Amino acid sequence: MTHSVLFVCTGNICRSPTAEGLFAAYSQEAGCEQRWRCDSAGIYAQAGLAPQAQSIEVAATYGADISQLRSRAVCGEDFSNFDRIIALDCGHLDYLSAVAPASYLGQITLFESPLGNRIEVDDPYGLPNKAYERAAADIAAGVRCLLEQLQTESR
């Protein structure tokens, strides 16, 4: 079974491209990249922007190269193309839940921790590097938990 995951934040230049990159790197590390595809988008994204330099740097420390990713806005087709949409905070979750078509059969959720707690990732945009590092640590934990869930579902 192929899973499709979309990561969504505000501008698609910090959190969601980091999540996309870490998901791709970790699924490759687990040898299951062929079974899962991912993308990222932003609710208010301007198309074609590169990720923030701090996001590129911190993602690299987790083994992900996100330098070639480019921003895009969430669109209606995303609800047809992705069976799981991960919102990076509750505001994004509320928005996506409100605009999702009634026919959408996938999941719209936040990241979860191994204990089942919901993870909201604070927006590091415009903040010092420590904020990007904190966001990446939260994303890494969420991505690892998501991959475990997907592996369990695939059995």
pLDDT tens string 117-126: 999 999 999 9
Contact between residue 38 and residue 118 where contact means Cβ atoms under 8 Å apart: no
Residue 128 has pLDDT above 60, yes or no: yes
Measure the CA–CA gap between 50 and 33, rounded to whole angstroms: 23
CA pair distance 72, 9, nearest whole angstrom: 11
Task: Give me the domains of the chain, ranges plus CATH numbers.
Answer: 3-154 (3.40.50.2300)
Residues 33 and 62: beta-carbon distance below 8 Å:
no
Catalytic center residues:
9, 15, 123
**Taking Cα atoms as reference points, which of 109, 11, 13, 28 lies closest to residue 62?**
28
Rounded to two decimals, the pTM is: 0.96
pLDDT, tens digit, 9 for 90 and up, residues 56-65:
999 999 999 9
pLDDT > 70? residue 1: no
Please check the confidence at residue 136 and state whether its pLDDT lies above 90: yes
- Average pLDDT estimate for 66-71: 98
- The pLDDT value given to residue 155: 66
Mean pLDDT of 82-92: 97
